[in-house]
Amino acid sequence: MNTLTYLFQTAVKNFWSEKRINLLTVLTIAVGLLIISAFALITLNIDLTLKNWSGGFGLVVYLKDNISAEEEGLIKNHFKKDTDITSVNYITKEQALKELRQTLGSATHLLEGFESNPLPASFELKLKRESLTPAGIKEKAERLKQFQGVEDVQYGEKWLASMDSLSKGLKVLTVSLGSIILIALAFVTYSTIKILFYRRADEIDTMKLLGASRSFIRLPFLMEGLFIGLSSGIIALSALFGIYAVTTAKTAELIPSIKSFAVFFPPAAYPVLPLGGALMSLIGSLFAIGRIKY
Amino acid sequence: MNTLTYLFQTAVKNFWSEKRINLLTVLTIAVGLLIISAFALITLNIDLTLKNWSGGFGLVVYLKDNISAEEEGLIKNHFKKDTDITSVNYITKEQALKELRQTLGSATHLLEGFESNPLPASFELKLKRESLTPAGIKEKAERLKQFQGVEDVQYGEKWLASMDSLSKGLKVLTVSLGSIILIALAFVTYSTIKILFYRRADEIDTMKLLGASRSFIRLPFLMEGLFIGLSSGIIALSALFGIYAVTTAKTAELIPSIKSFAVFFPPAAYPVLPLGGALMSLIGSLFAIGRIKY
Amino acid sequence: MIQFSDVSKFYDNEAALSDITLTIEKGEHIYITGPSGAGKTTLLKLIYAAERPDKGTVSVAGQDTGKLKQGAVPFLRRTIGVVFQDFRLLPNVTVFDNIALALRIHGIDSKEIKENVNDVLASIGMKHKAHEFPRHLSGGEQQMAAIARAIVSKPNVLLADEPTGNLDPGTADTIIKLFREINLRGTTLIIATHHDALFKNTGHRVIYLKEGKIEKETKD
Amino acid sequence: MIQFSDVSKFYDNEAALSDITLTIEKGEHIYITGPSGAGKTTLLKLIYAAERPDKGTVSVAGQDTGKLKQGAVPFLRRTIGVVFQDFRLLPNVTVFDNIALALRIHGIDSKEIKENVNDVLASIGMKHKAHEFPRHLSGGEQQMAAIARAIVSKPNVLLADEPTGNLDPGTADTIIKLFREINLRGTTLIIATHHDALFKNTGHRVIYLKEGKIEKETKD
Ligand SMILES: Nc1ncnc2c1ncn2[C@@H]1O[C@H](COP(=O)(O)OP(=O)(O)OP(=O)(O)O)[C@@H](O)[C@H]1O
Ligand SMILES: Nc1ncnc2c1ncn2[C@@H]1O[C@H](COP(=O)(O)OP(=O)(O)OP(=O)(O)O)[C@@H](O)[C@H]1O
Ligand SMILES: [Mg+2]
Ligand SMILES: [Mg+2]
């Protein structure tokens, strides 16, 4: 116990006695953690935005004018059984015409040639995000077309395909760039701590010659690494929050809607950065000290 | 001259005598340069992609069925004088109908109610990218509406607005994230070199006591910094190229079209990374050595 | 008991020590002398297992240091106090903490450490420098701190490598008297030195090394 | 000519030197002695401007070191050779390069450097260690390398701080003889040492320091 207290004090002393260079190390690692967490936050926000967009996506089932109540019942029943469908919205012929008028805007005169309402009634279906794959939707559409009373089934094939590839591309980018950055930062941490401890090789030698055990030598270094990582994490978290606040405020001047969908990490995730930093530095220190041979 | 040769040899020797730790430093800085140049490359590619997309954007000027040749002439003349317009395409009533049929696809029966072709002839205008601001386009549209024989002027207002804000947002993101990363890396470089040179404080002291001049002490360190930066830059450039090649190849499996628009930096820009790295390390070293006081 | 049997140690194919056979009894007070580069420091290093013999065996307290497991080395070293020729003080801690370190390693508690360190500092007249850092000490003061660290843990064996090189004759005398006291309490004492005034006419055993070999042995 | 006029130097409000007045003529051969912590090293540091006086003035070759501009310091130091008490060898370069460094600083060309360094190494019998790194040398060998570096550039003033602390009497004699030769060629020679055998009965001037003050001065 006494020895542990001493080793802890030693770590604090060592940290303090080289405060300038330790501060540099802390800031370096903090900057690294900041980059990776900023990256994670941006990814999170892009992902949420994509989810929002694709939440508006669905299938439209156009009904024949002469559909029977029984046929309509069968179709509705099918919707109920399909767990991928999250909402069903019935659009009457009149609503459809109204919507078309709105969409056409100033070109509404195009509709003047019609004697009766040419538009069909329809069901608008919304699907779970997970089910929004081009192949899956196509299959669903084909099945719905088989029903009696269904005139046609439409969905944004092209849009869906590009949305899908955008989402996939983004995932590839996120994972590859993210892991590059992660590896890079693990490396920067290791390297910084290695260089920092390299100076102490003499000191370690002396301790060995005085009969210190491996753990006696290592513990202060590991604790120092832990402090460094922990402080880095706390600094990174604060900086990230600051930058997030400033950036959203600034961006809101250009895109006011940003405030409604930009998010920060949930409070439960706050400890991740300090603890992650501490763990990373701890492992970095462990490698940096290396094998102690007598 | 003799002394310069010696100082150069000293730098090489120093670099070599601590090769492990110098290699770590080189890799750390290389990783930093890699991240920043990867970021620049991604930004470049996104920007080009946006340019491609918006290249397809334009205004459509719908003409009245009863437009006179003189009126058409005046309109065409106006187009010629407006330097923002890069291309003008005349769409006849028949072409318009054909296009609409294609667009409607399986819903083409909607057109069956028409007796005569309800669609107007039109001019499709393409604009310079720089002129694609919501306000500018709106003004252009209003002016065109004043012409005799013009039925209506349409443009993707919403799409343009979101495209514009996307582009602006991206720019804000790029500049802010980019400068954070740049500052971070300048800092990592400085810090790594500082920590590396910190060990040599004793050596510097000894040199001072032996009567070495400031430049005699500094030059080997600066050269060592230069080597470190130069090697880092070369490694980063090679790694970036490797990652680019692998990533585009991998991504092409998902989005085949990527090959047609993904670009790497032009060869003329290759020296930027090694030279930039060298410069950065040089400045970092200069700060790291600090003022030499006697 | 320390025993060298036909020990050689090579650096870059040159023998720093060759065919040394030597027995040092428990509680002995012995000097190692000889010109620069004769192998004095190397001989001491073999005792505290900082070097392993390339030929022959070195046994310390019954343990063959050449065959010692890594984990056993610290335990051996804790029974040996060493005054290093180049002092080897930790630069980032005070004189007090440098000396206390030798006790910390034994897991002794802080109160006892404080007492012991202060006692040692008092006995060598260095109390006023307890809270200085090594770089703020004179050469002799650094050497005194190194001596204090070696003796504070009351080791079974005390090795002192040129312990008076930076000391004035008066202080050197004090140190030698202190060493003698420690030796009388049962500690085996091995001093490597050029300083023949330390052993001249004392009746102690002196080993003369030359070019890695034992040239002669006397009882002055 | 080196002149101390009423010089004091304080560390943490304690005087390491107080009220020193002393004149050393060009070409003199003088010893500074006194117990550990008396201020010998501090006195030498004031000469090569590693410390500036807190009171009084130190003048070296007509220059007041206290008022010396930063840019002038290296030029002063190039006229002074110093054997540091803790050697101060660069750890990353060989003995040869450590010694050559003193000449590099003068901008001398490589061929001449090689000759001079080899001559010096030969004169102190260290040629066989020319390409070793300092950490692979014995204590005495390191001290010899430090001496070689101080004398290789044939300085006007040679300061040697405890230059024989790690040398055996034979080697110490050789070094002192070498110093004497250098002195006879006109170099001012100032040796700080505890080792009274160096100056006993030589007829040289000896300054005895004690607690920062000049206690006495003799011509032994
Ligand atoms: N940088 C420093 N900071 C604080 N005190 C110092 C510093 N340098 C020297 N001292 C103190 O000044 C006094 C004189 O030191 P100095 O090194 O001149 O002694 P010395 O005569 O050379 O002794 P030695 O023979 O032991 O080398 C000593 O008490 C020392 O502790
Ligand atoms: N690590 C090493 N690598 C290479 N050679 C070494 C090493 N350590 C010692 N030597 C050489 O071995 C020989 C004996 O060295 P040692 O340090 O034992 O001498 P010493 O008797 O202690 O001398 P001194 O009185 O000068 O301290 C010397 O020639 C030295 O150069
Ligand atoms: Mg030795
Ligand atoms: Mg001194």
3-class SS of residue A70: helix
- Cβ–ligand 1 distance for D13 under 6 Å, the answer no
- At B96 the pLDDT is 78
- Which residues in chain A have their CB less than 8 angstroms from residue B247's CB? 172, 176
- At C72 the pLDDT is 94
Segment B236-261 shows an average pLDDT of 79
- At C56 the pLDDT is 97
- At A159 the pLDDT is 57
Q: Write out pLDDT tens, residues A60-81.
A: 888 888 888 888 888 888 888 8
- Cβ–ligand 1 distance for D12 under 6 Å, the answer yes
DSSP assignment of chain B equals -HHHHHHHHHHHHHHHHTHHHHHHHHHHHHHHHHHHHHHHHHHHHHHHHHHHHHHT-EEEEEEPTT--HHHHHHHHHHHHH-TTEEEEEEE-HHHHHHHHHHHHGGGGGGGGG-SS--PPPEEEEEE-GGG--HHHHHHHHHHHHTSTTEEEEE--HHHHHHHHHHHHHHHHHHHHHHHHHHHHHHHHHHHHHHHHHHTTHHHHHHHHHTT--HHHHHHHHHHHHHHHHHHHHHHHHHHHHHHHHHHHHHHHHH-TTHHHH-----GGGTTHHHHHHHHHHHHHHHHHH-----
- At A67 the pLDDT is 87
- At D171 the pLDDT is 92
Q: Which residue of D has its CA nearest to C87?
A: D86
Element (H, E) at D82: strand D80-83
Contact D144 C36 (CB under 8 A): yes
Q: Write out pLDDT tens, residues B3-14.
A: 888 888 888 888
B148-157, B183-192, B202-211, C184-193: which has the minimum mean pLDDT? B183-192
- At B83 the pLDDT is 82
Identify the band that residue C191 occupies on the pLDDT scale cut at 50, 70 and 90: very high
- At C157 the pLDDT is 97
- At A177 the pLDDT is 67
Closest ligand relative to D40 C-alpha = 1
- At D218 the pLDDT is 94
A213-227, A252-266, B28-42, C116-130: which has the minimum mean pLDDT? A252-266
- At B36 the pLDDT is 79
Cα distance from D108 to chain C (closest Cα, Å)? 32
Q: Write out pLDDT tens, residues A94-148.
A: 887 787 676 555 556 556 656 677 778 888 888 776 776 777 778 888 888 888 8
- At A61 the pLDDT is 86
* Helix C110-123 and helix C95-104, axial crossing angle in degrees, nearest 10: 130
Q: Give this prediction's pTM.
A: 0.80
d(CA A93, CA A121): 4
D124, D126, D138: residue to mutate for ligand 2 pocket, most atoms within 8 A of CB: D138
Whether the pLDDT of residue B42 is over 70: the answer is yes
- Cβ–ligand 2 distance for D110 under 6 Å, the answer no
Contact C166 D167 (CB under 8 A): no
Whether the pLDDT of residue B189 is over 80: the answer is no
Q: Write out pLDDT tens, residues B106-125.
A: 556 556 656 677 778 888 88
Whether the pLDDT of residue B294 is over 60: the answer is yes
Q: Write out pLDDT tens, residues B151-161.
A: 888 776 555 66
- Ligand 2, atom 1: nearest CA belongs to which residue? D136
- Cβ–ligand 2 distance for D169 under 6 Å, the answer no
Token reading at A246: 């400033």
d(CA B231, CA B233): 5
**ipTM exceeding the 0.90 mark:** no
- Which residues in chain C have their CB less than 8 angstroms from residue A5's CB? 110
A touches which chains (3+ CB pairs under 8 A)?
A: B, C
Q: Write out pLDDT tens, residues C47-76.
A: 999 999 999 999 999 999 999 999 999 999
A159-163, A228-232, B243-247, D67-71: which has the minimum mean pLDDT? A159-163
Segment B254-258 shows an average pLDDT of 65
Nearest by CB to B210, from D49, D102, D107: name it. D102
- At B51 the pLDDT is 66
Other residues' Cβ atoms within 10 Å of the Cβ of residue A83:
8
- Cβ–ligand 2 distance for D131 under 6 Å, the answer no
Q: Which residue of A has its CA nearest to B106?
A: A152
Contacts of C147 (CB under 8 A, 6+ apart): C83, C124, C160, C163, C175
C7, C9, C11: residue to mutate for ligand 2 pocket, most atoms within 8 A of CB: C11
- At A163 the pLDDT is 59
Token reading at D172: 């110490």
CA diameter of chain A: 104
How confident is the prediction for chain A on average, in pLDDT?
79
Token reading at A252: 């809101």
Element (H, E) at D218: strand D213-219
Tell me, in angstroms, the distance from the centre of ligand 1 to residue C138's CA.
4
Q: Which CATH architecture has domain A58-155?
A: 2-Layer Sandwich (3.30)
Cα distance from C105 to chain A (closest Cα, Å)? 5
Q: Write out pLDDT tens, residues D162-197.
A: 999 999 999 999 999 999 999 999 999 999 999 999
- At B13 the pLDDT is 83
Contact status of C134 with chain D (Cβ, < 8 Å): no
How confident is the prediction for chain B on average, in pLDDT?
79
- At A238 the pLDDT is 95
B touches which chains (3+ CB pairs under 8 A)?
A: A, D
Whether the pLDDT of residue A53 is over 80: the answer is no
Domain boundaries of chain B, sorted by first residue? 2-52+162-290, 58-155
The runs of H, that is alpha helices, within chain D are: 40-47, 73-77, 95-104, 110-123, 139-152, 169-184
Q: Provide the residues around ligand 3 (an ion) whose CB is within 5 A.
A: C 41, 85; D 138-139
- Counting residues of chain D whose pLDDT is more than 70, the rounded percentage is 100
- Which residues in chain D have their CB less than 8 angstroms from residue C208's CB? none
How confident is the prediction for chain C on average, in pLDDT?
95
Give the best-scoring range by mean pLDDT among A82-96, A213-227, B162-176.
A213-227
- At A157 the pLDDT is 59
- At B56 the pLDDT is 53
Token reading at B18: 């601590």
Q: Write out pLDDT tens, residues A192-251.
A: 777 777 778 888 999 999 999 999 999 988 898 899 889 999 999 999 999 888 878 877
Residue with the two structure tokens 């919205």: A89
Identify the band that residue B174 occupies on the pLDDT scale cut at 50, 70 and 90: low
Structure-model confidence comparison of residues C196 and A174, the more confident one: C196
